[in-house]
Amino acid sequence: MSWANPWALGALVVVPLVYLYLAYVKKPPTLMVATVRPFRNPGRRRRRGIGFAGWCSLAALTLLIVALARPRRGDEKIIVRAQGIDMIFALDMSGSMAAYDVPGALRTGGEIVDAIRSGKLQNRLDTAKRELARFIAERPNDRIGLIGFAEFAYNFVPPTLDHDWLTERLGTLEPGQIGDATGIASPIASAANRLKKSDSPRRVLVLFTDGADNVAHRVTPEQAAQLAKECDVVIHTVGIGGDRAVIEAETPFGRRLHPYSGQFDEARLRRLAKLTGGQYFHAGDASGMHGVMEKINELETTAKEQPKFIEYHEYAPYLALAALALLLVGTVAEHTWKLKFP
């Protein structure tokens, strides 16, 4: 509760003055006499009753003064306007992304096989897809695009707010689907070209790979990163893979799990991120990938405006109506059932 005109409450001092007037000041005579001396009390002045109508008038006056002070209740409302960022995920789809990064809790080959068959252990690409889908669901205001790459980059989804379509396309990616090589320059150049026309104040490329660049393009990854920097694109790089990795391979006895020793070029990934003002992250297994996406989510915050306004509910009209009703009741009573004759 608040008051728009709290100074008006000072007028309440009038109410007791009116009461004193009605209670102690002589009313106009209803009978003419030569003198009132016989009726005068030489002692203290006696209080007269102000009657029902008088009390109604006092109450009405009090309500009108309070109404003049405008009591009100305010409901504060906040409007959140979010301005998202434009982001592209560049996801390695080479054959090595079919490898499984084995956590320390799985010690024997049997435990690893059981974990894969039960779905508790997923390959690198499926792990990345799961975490990216969760990340997308938490960023409704961002335009997010998807590039898959092996030897060359393929634009699967341009930056969009249609996250259902984006998540659906993400789910269709498979290891080795577009080749087995790893060309890092191509997705960087493609993302920079996509984002350079963006009107977003923040443009981000997140590149995920488990291998070193092994494609001889005319543009090196560093040159592509320099192009991204000129387009105001920040690159975060994520190296995928740990020390304990296995991959399925065909043998004369069927498909078997074999140790996998492929490794990404950490020094280059760090260099590419630093060149554009981004950061490098390492995702050694599923838990590591989850942590990486949490850090990126915190790092790339969405700008928000929170203008506030207060909607007031005024009580003055109701008080004024109540005062009017009291005056009406007092007037009617004075001329009907409270009527007095001389």
Torsion angles phi and psi, residue 191, rounded to 5: -65, -40
Residue 279's nearest CA partner among 240, 235, 239 is 235
Query: Strand pairing partners for 209?
Result: 239
What is the spatial distance between Cα 190 and Cα 194, in angstroms, rounded to a whole number?
A: 6
Residue 314 pLDDT: 80
For residue 224, what are the contacts with CB-CB under 8 A and spacing of at least 6?
184, 185, 186, 188, 189, 192
Residue 341 pLDDT: 46
What is the spatial distance between Cα 288 and Cα 102, in angstroms, rounded to a whole number?
A: 12
Query: Which pair of tokens denotes residue 204?
Result: 């981000």
Residue 124 pLDDT: 95
CB 92 within 8 A of CB 211: yes
End-to-end CA separation in angstroms for the chain: 48
Largest CA distance in the chain: 140
Domains of the chain: 2-77+312-334 (no CATH), 81-305 (3.40.50.410)
Torsion angles phi and psi, residue 106, rounded to 5: -95, 115
Residue 108 pLDDT: 87
Query: Strand pairing partners for 74?
Result: 312
Phi-psi region for residue 96, left (φ > 0), alpha (ψ -120 to 50) or beta?
alpha
CB 155 within 8 A of CB 119: no
Torsion angles phi and psi, residue 75, rounded to 5: -105, 115
CB 146 within 8 A of CB 169: yes
3-state secondary structure of 160: strand
Q: What is the DSSP string of 48-79?
A: PP-HHHHHHHHHHHHHHHHHHT-EEEEEEEE-
What is the spatial distance between Cα 210 and Cα 260, in angstroms, rounded to a whole number?
A: 11
Torsion angles phi and psi, residue 87, rounded to 5: -140, 145
What is the spatial distance between Cα 193 and Cα 90, in angstroms, rounded to a whole number?
A: 13
Residue 190 pLDDT: 95
Residue 70 pLDDT: 80
CB 155 within 8 A of CB 186: no
Residue 105 pLDDT: 87
Residue 68 pLDDT: 80
Low-confidence ranges of the chain (pLDDT < 70): 1, 3, 15, 19-50, 74-83, 252-254, 302-312, 330, 333-335, 337-342
